[in-house]
Structures are given as structure tokens and as C-alpha cells.
Amino acid sequence: MIKFTVITLFPEAVEPYLKSSMMWKAARKGLAEFELVNLRDFGLGPHKSVDDTPYGGGDGMLLRCEPVFAAVESVKAKDSSAKVILPTPVGEIWNQKLARELAGVLSEPISSASGLEFSSTSYAGPRAESSLRNEPVRAVRNIRVENSNHFTMPRETGSATPAIHYIILCPHYEGYDERILSIVDYKISMGKYVLTGGELPALVIIDSVVRLIPGVLGGEKSAEIESFSEGNNLEYPQYTRPEDFRGMKVPEVLLSGNHGEIAKWRKEHERKA
């Protein structure tokens, strides 16, 4: 069971996706838990300010240390084992291997930047002691909304408490005070382009990790045999009905029922990124 706490100035931008499709299914089955924390609640002064101009001059505003540290510490006060993820251009480019590492489904042990060791079993999650493990299992029947910034997805009775907990901090404005990096365990980059905030990267990280948890996707091997499962491989071409669409026909071997030949064809037709 994996829990994601997203610290953001715009929880309304994140919530709808987490309440739909596979993310909703994962939460409902007790395989994942999602929490939103509004950074504005930790802002300074009567206007709940979270940003200020950069020392040395320059355009734009930077996230201040005080509200960010306070928000993260409020989450860690309930679970000191939670690891902080920051979407940032200076981070490691996000890829399938990292997604599998955070999901705890690597076939071999690997150590993360924060020193966590991951089990070689099919799914064990990082070897981290969580304060949530000793809490009684709760059945949440409805989405709880507190001050319009915190929600927990409904879960089936008897679902497990989190084995690992990630806090994703969503930056905004021109950037963030460099000292914020001192509390970050994982620095993640989405690529060589710029976005207005960290909400989309947060959803990308959550989706790519949660879908790897056994039981989230339909097929037993749905998350194993797919693009990037073996590095730079791209999945082979796939077809469904009808067999002939406007003269474009499904390869005969896929209709043959010969699983050996089908496997051979698929291997031969794998593509590379």
C-alpha cells in the first residue's frame, strides 16, 4: 500500500484525476491512498503569503522556506518515514525504472538517493518503518473534505495501512528557495521543458507508480509486458477487431492460435525508443 500526500497551492487541479479511473480503483481497493494539503494554509501574515522576491534581483517570485517547511513537517509529524519528492529541472529525468523503484517492484535490490533499500520480491515496497503501520485499519466510506483542501479516497473495509509514504511538493512561480532542497529526498525532472507548476508532474509520478502496484491493472502481467519494461524497449504492435479494416488486415500469425509463433512474432516486432 502506497500513500501520496500532495502539497500544492491548487488542490482543485489535482483532485479530479485522483478520483477517477485507475487511481480511484487503487484507492477503493486499499492499494493506494491520496491526501491533498493546501500550502496556502501555512502562509505567512494576514494574506497567507508563500512567496517573495529573490535576493540579488530578477523577475518572478520564489516559494519561501517557512510555509514549505511547515507544510512538510505537519505531514511528517504524523509519519516521520515519509519521503519528499520535488519536481524540479535539476532532478533526475523521470523514467520507468524510477517508477518501478518507487513502487517497490524492481526484480533486484536497488538503493535510492535517500538510501532506502528495495526488496527483490515481486512487491514488498521500500524497507522503511512507518508510524502508520501500527494504526488500526480504518474503513473510509465517503470522501472526507476538510476546509476544501484535504481528502481521503473511499477504501474498502480491511484495506492495509501504507507501507511507504511519499510527499510530493508542487513548486510554483519562478521557483523555490534553494534551502528547500535540504528536506527533499527525490529530485525529479519531467524533461527539458518548463511548466507553470508541479501539479502535472505530481500526477505523472503518482499515475506511473500506482499503476505498477499488483492488483491495480486488470491483467496479471499488464504492468510487466509493456513499453520501457526492459529499458528502451517499445511494445510490439497490437490489434483488435475487426480483422480487416479498410484493407488493413491483422497479421495472420496473431489469428493462428499458435502461442509460440505469436511470442516469436511479438519479440521480432518490438521497437526501440
User: Can you list the domains of the chain with their CATH numbers?
Assistant: 2-210 (3.40.1280.10), 233-272 (1.10.1270.20)
What one-character DSSP code corresponds to residue 255?
A: G
DSSP 134-196: GSPP----S-EEETTTEEE----TTPPPPSEEEEEE--BTTEE-GGGGGG-SEEEE--SS--S
Rg of the chain over Cα atoms, rounded to whole angstroms, equals 21
Place of cell 480511484: 24
Residues paired with residue 176 on neighbouring β-strands, in sequence order: 63
Q: Digits of tens for pLDDT over the chain (273 positions)?
A: 999 999 999 999 999 999 999 999 999 999 999 999 999 999 999 999 999 999 999 999 999 999 999 999 999 999 999 999 999 999 999 999 999 999 998 544 434 443 333 322 233 343 333 332 233 222 222 333 333 344 555 555 444 556 899 999 999 988 999 999 999 999 999 999 999 999 999 999 999 999 999 999 976 555 555 544 556 678 899 999 999 999 999 999 999 999 999 999 999 999 877
Residue 35's nearest CA partner among 162, 133, 131 is 162
Q: Whole-structure pTM over 0.85, yes or no?
A: no
Rounded-to-integer distance, Cα 188 and Cα 246, Å: 44
